Structure 1
Amino acid sequence: MKMKHYYILSLLLLWTSTIFANGIKPGAQDVKVTATVSKNVVGTGEVFEISFSVNGNIESFNPPALNGFQVVGGPNQSSSYSSINGSTTSSMSVSYDLVAVKEGEFVIGPAVVGVNGKQIKSNAVKVKVVKGRAVPQGNAAQPQRDQVADGNSTDISKRLFLRAVANKTNVYIGEQFSVSYKLYTNIDLVDNALDKLPDFNGFWSQEIKNNNPNVQWEVESYNGVKYHVATLKQIILFPERFGKLTLDPLAMTFVVRQAAPSNDPIEQFFGGSYKDTKYKIKSSPITINVKPLPEAGKPEGFNGAVGNFSIGANLDKTSVKANEALNYALKITGSGNLKLLKAPELTLPADIEKYDPKVNDNINESMTGVSGSREYSYLLIPRHEGNYTIEPLKFSYFNPSTGKYVSLSTGSFAVKVAKGDPGSNVTAYAAGGQQDVKMLAKDIAYIRTGNSGLTRDGEGFYGSALYYALLCTGPVLFLAAFGYRKWYRENNRDIVKVKGRNANKVAAKHLANAQKQLLSGDKKVFYEDVYRGLYGYLSDKLNISAADLNKDNIRGQLKARAVNESLIDQLTETLDLCEMARYAPITGISEQEVFDKAKAIINDIENNA
């Protein structure tokens, strides 16, 4: 509340106490506490309000447990007073802004309010939560603070911290162990943000997925103090090199809410004030001592399997025809670095063709480690008839519990291969899927009969006269194009000459427009186009700029080019005629005669100039 609200409320309380001291009792009414919500059906992530109203003075207020909801605002208090004919009534309310965290039907229990020395309960409220938007985990992860005793509020580090907990700190290369990153708090959290995830340099990591998107809180005692604890991340790690390796910390930023001392009696009456503080925390790094695998007793062909495993193998057929496919499956079951295992080498007779195996995993991850099975399926194709033996497959692993190597072996399989069908082809699908298609039994083809289509040297197109003629066409066309480009550049180097050569074409466009206007009957526009055509032609032909284009310059330039004087007079007369026709009608000559005269003048100048 603002300070002026405190003063108004103080005056109202003082006025009410004065009325009571003078023996004026409040109007006769039954004191009742009513709980209401702004919406009975809300979506997850949607804000709604719950309000507790009392038709009297609140002496104490205990809110209900708001499990399943996030408090994003409040408590907000309001009050009203009225006095009619000496009868005084008052009402007060407390409200909270809530956000639904998960779907379902919830019952918000009654609040307990102290009024006139009595404890009165409100009604319960039902709220149905349907699917909406995702809820931020800032306030939703805030624990109920009434379950845990407050610690020293002046030292936040003792009330809010992160811990990285490893189930092992002394392991072998490839041995699995788990790490949990846990948040401990007994202080109100307003918001949080992730600053940095830990780096697992030197480790192969596998995060344990949590199907529940909401953080689960538990109460745990640590160093004799109770905290609300949330597990933020759980990781399974496999060291890839030996030595002392460090797990970097997880870093986060929180906004914590702490009570602020106040001497204001109104603030004390309504629970005091608070302040929000930004606080950065990170877990302590963990050092893992990784030991190398012992060299003593290491079996030949060991491929780095670490854990506790068993193996089994089976062959789907023991009797086939040549070029028919059969499947050999090896299944490794147990716990350890299953996802890092390499495909074992299968030793086969030379006449049995093998393809890369297809891998099928059935693996589970939990805090106890990675466990399950991995199956390798090999596609085998015997090429010739006979009796063959698939030798036992050997597999070895290191057991970190005993510190010793273990060697396992499958049984052998006898395969009887009968003679294949004549001309039989086998289409084999490699482990990658149907895209990797290979045709087998195509190494020897039948002898071709009939016309082979072979020709003698010199009889075909290659080496003929046409072949060499076409071969020379390219260089000849290149030289012709090169010569044309050179001629074009030389011919268009002088801009004045280019404009002079193109003057007739420019004039022809204007005269063509004039002829269109003549046919349409627009005489004014006709004379304008003839006038522009003549002047534009003379400007380009004589290289006279538009600013200097006048009859005297035109006459002088034409005389310099030895143009007949009578032709110059015809040009001057036609220009005067077109200019006069733009402003007044003319008689004695038709428009067609003017058009033909202008066209003839341009042709004569082209021939003489």
Structure 2
Amino acid sequence: MNGRYYILSVLILWANLLLAQSASFTASVSSTQVAAGEQFQVDFTLNGNGERFQPPNFNGFQVLSGPNVSQSMTSINGNTSVSMGYSFILAAVKEGDYTIGPATIYVNGHILGTRPLKIHVVKGSPQQARRMRQQQQAIDQVPAADLSKAVFLRASVSKTKAYIGEQLNVTYRLYTRVGILQNQYDKLPELNGFWSQDLNEHKQPTAAVWRTEILNGTRYNVADIKETIVFPERSGDLTIDPFAMTLVVRVPAPAHDIMEEFFGNSFKDEKVKLKSPPIIVHVKDLPAAGKPVDFSGAVGTFTLSADLDKKALKANESLNYNVKITGVGNIMLVKNPTVGFPPDFEKYDPKVTDTLSKEGGKIHGSKLYNYLLIPRHEGNYTIDPIKFTYFNPATERYVTLTSKAFPVAVAKGDRQTNVSALATDKQDVKLLDKDIRYIKTSDFGLTEQGENFFGSVGYYLLLLLGPVLFVAAFYYRKWLQRHNSDIVKVKSRKASKIARKHLANAQAQLATKNKSGFYEALFKGIYGYLSDKLNIPYANLDKETIAEALRKRSVNETLITRLQDNLDLCDMARFAPVTGISEQEVFEKTKNTINDIEDEL
């Protein structure tokens, strides 16, 4: 066996020297010494573009995951370099010395190969051995005809019966027993009838945290692709929409010739479309029994606190009254509390500060209401307690929280004798109204006797203005209906406006240095624009379809090529890190490309 690897290594090295290829194909391992039952990672890296990657035969090891494909691009001073990576998660079966043979890949029509890797496996713990025996029971060789059982999506919800406003967790999981090469999302769930908040970004399978799980006696590699927190907004049977995606997976295939047998097991790539089954959630109305009149829809568990920055001050001085609601639940939907202030206090609308967190798989946080108050007269006042009611779904009861009352002593102010200076207060306006009215000092509105508006030219013009506006409105409505009757044209007209919204979101993500969010917004903006502009369903968009549609509309070929480069860059940047490229430059190129297409169309 070692002689075979030696001969193969010499042949590959000799071929590479003769071809003098600039690309290099290397292999690395996370550890050259592992324990039986221990997991480790093997990486194959190519600094260029290649095709027909052929992994080695991992004799003596169990493949838990892979090949997991990654790609990166770097541009320095206009020189762009591309690298590709293929990683495998392996587990050692039993102790001994093993050799992982060369992996091969085609580059410019020639074969490049890696050097063999030597792994020393030592004796593992009993727990590792037990786990290894369980993993060996899984069926690794999956025929293409059984792909529906080897890779699929599932959705799970924390509860299928809930109250309006109750917090639920929805998780979309990918189960697989085959290697994943490529993936794309076809349809994201709309979640109609729910207020939703993503717990994390949509994870690509190559970047997700994988674990093993036994389902119906079969072991799968499992990753959580999307996690969302939802709050039902109405009662009845609500549907958790399916999550759809397309994968390209690698499955074993029989060898066709002696070369395939020489290089190891052969594989073939299969395209498979996945969709998670919908889930019905039965949503109940909040109970009417015991519901207080001041209940505003808060569901969860909350606390209430209030404080005053000063309890003694002079008239016309300001004080701050703070109310804070903290808890777990639909905190973002909590309405402003009703506060009773003395009538002599001038009150301004509160400044609201929201603090939200998604740690622990739940929405929790606080709302801080800061009221600015100005007492206008001296005296002793009391700020009444605040009541806040929420519904606790765990106990199925309403809970009313009450803050404490605050006495306020107001002394005589420096400006209290200046009554006109206090005219902004409601109570002061009432006093002024009883005392003396304001005297007009201008002659605005005075006319000489005999100059009546009735019968003048302006009078008749205003009389005709009504019928003229009615006729204009009638014909405008007819034009608007005819103008909007063609849905395709309406979507085409609004395509650039929608694209500008996505570009604005991308610029906001760029300002926060969120690169993944930036490229995601660019990708949605340009694909959404092309879908509406070219009247092509979003799920059917690909580079060839877009190019063909643009050529039919006589769009310049150079512009089509520039568009395809932008699509490649955005698509790749969503799944792998891109370095050496200015995101601002990418943003400007994308915006200019959309503008140029809009001009030509």
CA distance in 1, matches of 2:259, 2:331: 65
Contact 1:325–1:379 (CA<8 Å) still a contact in 2? yes
Deviation at 1:113, TM superposition (A): 4.3
What is the rounded CA distance, in whole Å, between the counterparts of 2:51 and 2:343 in structure 1? 77
Cα 1:269–1:299 change in 2 (3 A) is same
- Please give the alpha-carbon distance, in whole angstroms, between the structure 2 residues aligned to 1:334 and 1:156: 45
Mapping for residues 37-116 of structure 1, pairs under 5 Å: 49-50=24-25, 65-66=42-43, 73-75=51-53, 99-100=71-72, 112-113=100-101
Partners of 1:312 and 1:332 within 8 A in 2: yes
Counterpart Cα distance in 2 of 1:211 and 1:195: 12
- Which position in structure 2 is the counterpart of 1:225? 218
Q: 1:74 to 1:398 in 2, by over 3 A?
A: same
**Greater RCO, 1 or 2 (C-alpha within 8 Å, sep 6+):** 2
Match of 2:291 in 1: 298
The whole-number CA distance in structure 2 between the counterparts of 1:222 and 1:243 is: 34
Q: Is the 8 A contact 2:176 2:221 kept in 1?
A: yes
Q: Give the structure with the higher percent helix.
A: 2
Native 8 Å contact 2:255 2:266 kept in 1: yes
Contact 1:49 1:98 in 2 (8 A): no
- Secondary structure at the aligned position of 1:66 is classed as strand
**Structure-2 separation of matches of 1:290 and 1:239:** 7
Q: Is the 8 A contact 1:357 1:378 kept in 2?
A: yes
Q: Residues of 2 paired with 1:356 and 1:455: CA distance?
A: 35
- 1:207 and 2:207 aligned: no
CA distance in structure 1 between the partners assigned to 2:73 and 2:214 by the alignment: 28
Match of 2:182 in 1: 191
CA RMSD of aligned residues (A): 5.1
Matching of residues 327-406 of structure 1 within 5 Å: 327-366=320-359, 368-406=361-399
Deviation at 1:51, TM superposition (A): 5.2
Deviation at 1:427, TM superposition (A): 11
Separation in 2, partners of 1:37, 1:107: 20
1:272–1:68 Cα change, 3 Å: closer
Distance 1:299 1:381 in 2: 31
Counterpart CA distance in 1 for 2:362 and 2:164 is: 15
Equivalent position of 1:166 in the other structure: 157
Summarize the alignment of residues 274-285 of structure 1 with structure 2, pairs less than 5 Å apart.
Answer: 274-285=267-278
After TM superposition, the structure 1 = structure 2 runs for residues 509-528 of structure 1, keeping only pairs within 5 Å, are none
Q: CA deviation at 1:450?
A: 13
Aligned residue in 2 for 1:234: 227
Q: 1:409-433, CA deviations, whole angstroms, 9 ceiling, x for partnerless residues?
A: 00001111222324499999xxxxx
> 218-227 vs 313-322, which deviates more?
218-227
State how far apart, in whole Å, the 1-side matches of 2:443 and 2:190 are: 69
One-letter amino acid of the counterpart of residue 213, structure 2: S
- The number of aligned residues is 372
Structure with bigger gyration radius: 1
Q: Distance in 1 between matches of 2:374 and 2:428?
A: 14
The secondary structure found in structure 1 opposite 2:332 is helix
1:158 and 1:192 map into 2 onto residues whose CA distance is 18
Partner AA of 1:186 in structure 2: R
Structure 1's unaligned 5+ residue stretches are 1-25, 39-46, 53-62, 78-95, 115-119, 125-144, 429-437, 465-470, 476-609
- The offset of 1:353, in angstroms, is 2.5
Give the secondary structure class of the aligned counterpart of 2:260. helix
Q: Is the 8 A contact 2:43 2:86 kept in 1?
A: no
Compared CA separation, residues 456 and 301, structure 1 to 2 (3 A): closer
Please say if residues 203 and 225 of structure 2, whose CA atoms lie closer than 8 Å, have aligned partners that are also in contact. no
2:172 pairs with 1:181:
yes
* Structure 2: stretches of 5+ with no match in the other structure: 1-5, 28-39, 56-67, 75-84, 89-97, 103-113, 119-134, 452-456, 462-601
Percent identical: 41
Deviation at 1:449, TM superposition (A): 13
Match of 2:405 in 1: 412
Say if 2:350 and 2:370, in contact at 8 Å, map to a contact too. Answer: yes
For residues 445-456 of structure 1, the aligned pairs below 5 Å read: none
